[in-house]
Structure 1
Amino acid sequence: MEMFLKVTDTFRSLKETRLSSLRPLSEFFDYQRISRPADLNQATSRISYNTRYFSGNYLIIVALFAVYSILTDLRLLFSLIFLVGGFTLINKFAPEATQVGEHTITQKHLYTGLFVIGIPMLWWAGPIAAIFGIFFGSALLVLAHAALLEPGVESDYATVQDQV
């Protein structure tokens, strides 16, 4: 239960900090502001500004890449469901030791069995390829969007506010 509270607190703080800065889709997909940067310096300054300005939108893109990656790889999906579901079921239905014949089965035994089966299943599913796919796919999309989208007029005033 305590772990669940920590996870919900983490999501709540993430929502308050990152997702509160979500920009409207009309601004995020403003095709009239798309142009090729003149040089590497301009591309770098656009990336620097846009990654801060659209950080909430980019976080959602990374999350969508992760969900897509998990849903399209059935082995990974099944192994994650097995591990998370097993962990949840053990916590919910087996908090106390159970006597089966002459043997006493504790939560520790159940967790050991779950991990002996679940970790090789997860390894066989290839989560490292999924992680690299999520990382490089989202990085490519975020950097391309940030480099090609011209900052709005408000970016000129952002430097004035920093100096004051």
Structure 2
Amino acid sequence: MPLASRFSNLKPLGEFFDVKRFSKPQNFGEVQSRINYNLGYFSSNYAVLFVMLSIYSLLTNLLLLFVIILVVGGMWGIGRLQGRDLEFGNTRVTSSQLYSGLLVVSIPLGLFASPISTFLWLIGASGCSILGHAAFLDKPAESAFSEEAV
């Protein structure tokens, strides 16, 4: 299970938020070195941070969350018909009509929900958070000795 293995190597919060190791890098080479090390070492923690920011962005844009639930639920419901027509009394609605109706409703609602700005906010917020953490968190002293031996 790749998802379970992704989160099996989460680092403890005490190590992730180790205030004693936060410092300003001396030069751009040190920034690159810290980012390379921390992105590999804390990759699972950064994935959790990205998921948490994604959930936050959906909870603050309830219309987008509603559109996503509407589309997923509509596709699931139409798929449950297995190609049969939906009957309401004397009215028959084919699955292609249901898909068309879902499309006609969800596209304007989806555009009104501003998914592009939400996506760009998510990229910016996660990029600043993750790259900021990776750049300002100094590598542990043990890693400096292992690099010199190579």
Normalised by the length of structure 2, the TM-score is 0.88
User: Per the alignment, do residues 158 and 59 of structure 1 end up closer, same or farther by CA in structure 2, a change over 3 Å counting?
Assistant: farther
* 1:128 and 2:111 matched: no
Question: How many percent identity over aligned positions?
Answer: 38
Separation in 1, partners of 2:60, 2:8 = 29
* 1:14 and 2:13 matched: no
**Deviation digits for residues 130-161 of structure 1 (CA, Å, limit 9, x no counterpart):** 00000010100111111111111342365479
Map of 1:111 onto structure 2: 99
Unaligned stretches of 5+ residues in structure 1? 1-11
Map of 1:41 onto structure 2: 29
Separation in 2, partners of 1:56, 1:148 = 18
What RMSD in Å do the two structures reach over aligned CA positions? Answer: 2.1
The amino acid that maps onto 1:156 is A
The amino acid that maps onto 2:45 is N
Separation in 2, partners of 1:74, 1:100 = 31
The amino acid that maps onto 2:48 is I
In structure 2, the residue corresponding to 1:151 is in which secondary structure?
Answer: coil
User: Per the alignment, do residues 85 and 98 of structure 1 end up closer, same or farther by CA in structure 2, a change over 3 Å counting?
Assistant: closer
- Which 10-residue stretch deviates more, 123-132 or 71-80? 71-80
Unaligned stretches of 5+ residues in structure 2? none
User: Per the alignment, do residues 122 and 158 of structure 1 end up closer, same or farther by CA in structure 2, a change over 3 Å counting?
Assistant: farther
Normalised by the length of structure 1, the TM-score is 0.81
Shift of 1:104: 4.7
**Deviation digits for residues 53-86 of structure 1 (CA, Å, limit 9, x no counterpart):** 0000001111111110011112112211211121
Shift of 1:119: 1.6
The amino acid that maps onto 1:132 is L
Q: 1:78 aligns with which of 66, 72, 97?
A: 66
Separation in 1, partners of 2:142, 2:41 = 10
Map of 2:144 onto structure 1: 156
User: Per the alignment, do residues 88 and 138 of structure 1 end up closer, same or farther by CA in structure 2, a change over 3 Å counting?
Assistant: same
